[in-house]
Structure 1
Amino acid sequence: MISIKLTKILPFLPVLLFFFSCASKPKDERIVSVSILPQQYFVEQIAGDYVKINVMVPPGMNPATSDLNTEQLKKLLDSDICFAVGYLPFETVHLYPVLEGKKKPVLIRHSDTLELIAGDCQHASAHVQHPQASVDPHVWMSPRYALMMSREIYEVLAETYPEKQAVFRANYERLEKRIKQLAQQAEQELAGKTQRTFLIYHPALTYFARDYGLEQISIEEEGKEPDPRHLKKIVDIVREKKIPLIFIQNQFDVNNANSVAAETGVQIIPIDPLSPDWMAEMENLIRILKEKLN
């Protein structure tokens, strides 16, 4: 499969778009594009198999470095809807330039309706200058925001495919109930913890930590590999606060997390914020925090 760097071929984009428009999709095919796998979960729960889902950051890829390939680009341009998170670097660098000025697919940016937190992971500002480039983009890791995203997905799907509105509504209400139960579970199981600090390599749990009164400390320093000074500071914090665990993600290098663990004895635990099974991943996260925080 050919991978294309859209930032390098923007001058030729009109030719590519014309080429793809000539190879039209089947008339009865309904395609919805999403940026990441957790969004696929929400769309699947609501729409079932009524739509085909084009995930633009595939399994194992990092939204900070992922690119569009030609097949994804064609599916994107054939889509009725594109659900973007908002400020992932993949979106700001590759997705938005392609969709600029186009009426279809309809672009929905979840972050536009959410109250965002300033972030130091520099997801967006590492690539582009944007008035809100320093926001933390990991909104889907908050059950409260996931519920709002799911509601938005339902409303847009129902408007786009009104013939299935009743089905979508019933499916959404089931998903809504499960997410509310998950949020209540997190509230109950984390409320009594006296130890409320955890370490993480890449700060993907900012909104989750805010929702449940936890403190997230990142090994990453402003979206970059930590230098020795920062690593020493992290080691000192772990010892001072008696932090029991480090979360790591498989999209990032774990060498520095291993160094901190070797120095302090803290336990390393993998999580996957980009899991295709959002509900199972969130349940796993809550279970780990319940077990490891005192």
Structure 2
Amino acid sequence: MKFSPYKICFLNLTLLLLLVSGANAQPAAPLQVFTSVLPLKYFVERVGGQRVAVQVMVGPGRSPATYEPKPKQMAALSRARLYYRVGVPFESVWMKRIANLNPAMTIVDLRQGLELRPLEHHHHDAEEDHREVVLKNYKKVEEMDPHLWTNPNLVKQMAERIQATLTVADPAGAADYQAGAEAFIRDLDELDRTIRQQLLKVKERRFLVFHPSWGYFAEAYNLQQIAVEASGKEPGPRALAGIIEQAKANNISVMFVQQQFSRTTAATIARAINGRVVAIDPLAEDYLANMRRTADAFARSLDNSL
């Protein structure tokens, strides 16, 4: 069976249009993206969907305070298009080197435009070295709390920034990024309503935590965080005794910890207040489910139920 030249030309044009349409629907290869911590990885994947391939620097169980990038990660960073940071401690040491490794990579600071809060500090012991205190005071401007993602309303603003920056890097995916961000923000609104309802009528508004990771969460839901550790340093004996007295005075019976830090001091405090240790993790990747688990743990504990 013979086709006329016109029919052959029409079929070729149709095939070409189909190929172009498919190329517009999905990029030839996903955008290579890095994030500093797992919650940010989840955020970028929610907004970017299949158009992004996201790797994370600080993996499960690792601490951003002590983390050092691996050679394989540094090699992968040299091929990345975007890096999303949030000011966790290892970045202050490594960010310049990461930027120099791949000058073409866009570094997006998700703190930009958000109101930051300082990290809580325990009271220093009188015997603490004076030079160390002076050094801490000098660095105070750098010691802002990076755990913004513990407030779902701040995450909504992060999602909008992620959408905007992905769209600049991949304009063909603009509609996909908008749809991803809108769906994610709807989930965040629902999460915020759920947590707010859970914590609305709890008896006690103060909670004791080993590492000061939940300040933005506390601020969002009218709670008060009392932190044991600050700037990577545990309290001395006198400060520790003061924390225990403060916990007793406020009828606090739960010591919250996260898996990235030692539980030895936390267990000592829990015994002293006749309480218990409860693990919560601000660095978990399954953000929505983890925040619901955390809110549930706070709700039970702040009702003074052992």
Bin of the TM-score, shorter chain as denominator length? 0.7 to 0.9
**CA positional deviation for 1:138:** 0.9
- 1:229 and 2:238 aligned: yes
- 1:240 and 2:241 aligned: no
User: Is the Cα–Cα contact under 8 Å of residues 142 and 211 in structure 1 kept in the other structure?
Assistant: yes
Cα deviation 1:204-230 (Å, max 9, x = unaligned): 001110111101001114430121112
Secondary structure of 1:132's aligned partner: helix
Could you tell me how far apart the structure 1 residues matched to 2:285 and 2:302 are?
26
Runs of 4+ off more than 4 Å = 100-103
User: Is the Cα–Cα contact under 8 Å of residues 121 and 223 in structure 1 kept in the other structure?
Assistant: no
Could you tell me how far apart the structure 1 residues matched to 2:283 and 2:187 are?
19
Could you tell me how far apart the structure 1 residues matched to 2:49 and 2:287 are?
15
Aligned match of 1:119: 119
**CA positional deviation for 1:98:** 2.7
Could you tell me how far apart the structure 2 residues matched to 1:227 and 1:134 are?
20
Aligned match of 1:283: 292
Change (3 A) 1:131 1:266: closer
Secondary structure of 2:141's aligned partner: coil
Aligned match of 1:15: none
Note the 1:146-185 alignment, pairs <5 A. Answer: 146-185=155-194
Note the 1:1-294 alignment, pairs <5 A. Answer: 28=29, 30-85=31-86, 87-100=87-100, 103-120=103-120, 132-294=141-303
User: Is the Cα–Cα contact under 8 Å of residues 54 and 76 in structure 1 kept in the other structure?
Assistant: no
Residue identity in the other structure for 1:114: L
Aligned match of 2:22: none
**CA positional deviation for 1:46:** 1.4
Secondary structure of 1:78's aligned partner: coil
Q: CA RMSD in A?
A: 2.2
Could you tell me how far apart the structure 1 residues matched to 2:51 and 2:178 are?
14
Could you tell me how far apart the structure 1 residues matched to 2:148 and 2:135 are?
19
Could you tell me how far apart the structure 2 residues matched to 1:36 and 1:242 are?
34
Could you tell me how far apart the structure 1 residues matched to 2:61 and 2:204 are?
32
Alignment length (residue pairs): 264
Cα deviation 1:117-167 (Å, max 9, x = unaligned): 111469xx999x767312111111111111111111111112211212212
Q: Which has the larger radius of gyration?
A: 2
User: Is the Cα–Cα contact under 8 Å of residues 220 and 226 in structure 1 kept in the other structure?
Assistant: yes
Change (3 A) 1:222 1:65: closer
Q: TM-score, normalised by structure 2?
A: 0.81
Give aligned-pair identity as a percent. Answer: 30
Residue identity in the other structure for 1:57: V
Change (3 A) 1:90 1:121: farther
User: Is the Cα–Cα contact under 8 Å of residues 246 and 257 in structure 1 kept in the other structure?
Assistant: yes
User: Is the Cα–Cα contact under 8 Å of residues 41 and 276 in structure 1 kept in the other structure?
Assistant: yes
User: Is the Cα–Cα contact under 8 Å of residues 120 and 222 in structure 1 kept in the other structure?
Assistant: no
Aligned match of 2:9: none
Gaps of 5+ in 2: 1-27, 123-133
Change (3 A) 1:132 1:97: farther
User: Is the Cα–Cα contact under 8 Å of residues 37 and 58 in structure 1 kept in the other structure?
Assistant: yes
User: Is the Cα–Cα contact under 8 Å of residues 250 and 272 in structure 1 kept in the other structure?
Assistant: yes
Gaps of 5+ in 1: 1-26
Secondary structure of 2:261's aligned partner: coil
Q: TM-score, normalised by structure 1?
A: 0.84
User: Is the Cα–Cα contact under 8 Å of residues 33 and 76 in structure 1 kept in the other structure?
Assistant: yes
